[in-house]
Structure 1
């Protein structure tokens, strides 16, 4: 049953990629995707993803794309390998109870690829994700909910479902959620795809 849900999620991501110009323009669809058969790992965030994914897109065209991906992620949430990356000292205990991410496609994903890394992340309401950085360029795509995106050297923006934000290589960035949680589809390109982000000094 779970493999069917993984395939459905990959199909939803493929359609999202094809129909969202910002995503298709950022990274070509990989041609080396294979099933990796990774074990799942549940975290408390699973219940939040399924019960409180955040407000969908208001625009009808964007709503169709983001809604399908949102529903696929919600269905898949109990079966994926959720990760935290950060320590309680870095982000606090509450953050770790209401945050999580998983790698759908990539070097260590449920589907293997060396050409890209496609992950899903969730942040609950009222969380601050401190300044951090990584080598690969990154495109955040808001699937549902909203958040305030801070990027070093660029204006701060509040983004909702259907909107995107680009982070350049080693460009510091941070995220704050307010009244809404945020569910994001995130794409990496370039070197260092298998590395984790690190907190900025």
Structure 2
């Protein structure tokens, strides 16, 4: 298993690198140059490529952005171009990309829907999740870093009753394989079908069908 990159798209966005265990390894602000018309910010493809190449991840999870009500043509074009650059750079590196809507990842990490207080809530959650890296989220403008990190972790982790986050090795394997059907079945409680059981075996965990298989550390 290898690392995962989370990307919060936009001029104030960022990239975050997480280990398979959910540890925050690296954070980079989006490589933006104000070289567009009238000095507008543009995502620089070579700089983005250099970051992704250096990190040697296996999969990328990106926040899905689309046209928003009341948004002007210039803003919509800028977001569209940013998404295109991200997809193109990832494709050039042979990295599969999954897109997640803001409500999906925010709901999964416990951030209330809507815009009011959402940016500070993301920073607060990131600091709680990675207190040893709190300085990375100290500034108001560091919300993009926090969101990128939470986007990467939300599909492989869970938190019960406000306790610490735990990462499922089974779900992580499914995510890295791009096996959405197996992941959906697993999240719905399936532990016995062949499609799901194979991931338990790969992770060295017991399954109902294979009670004699080796049991690794907790993480199913």
TM class, shorter-chain normalised? under 0.3
Instruction: Give the TM-score normalised by structure 1.
Output: 0.24
Instruction: Give the TM-score normalised by structure 2.
Output: 0.22
Name the structure with the higher helix share.
2
Name the structure with the higher strand share.
1
The higher radius of gyration belongs to 2
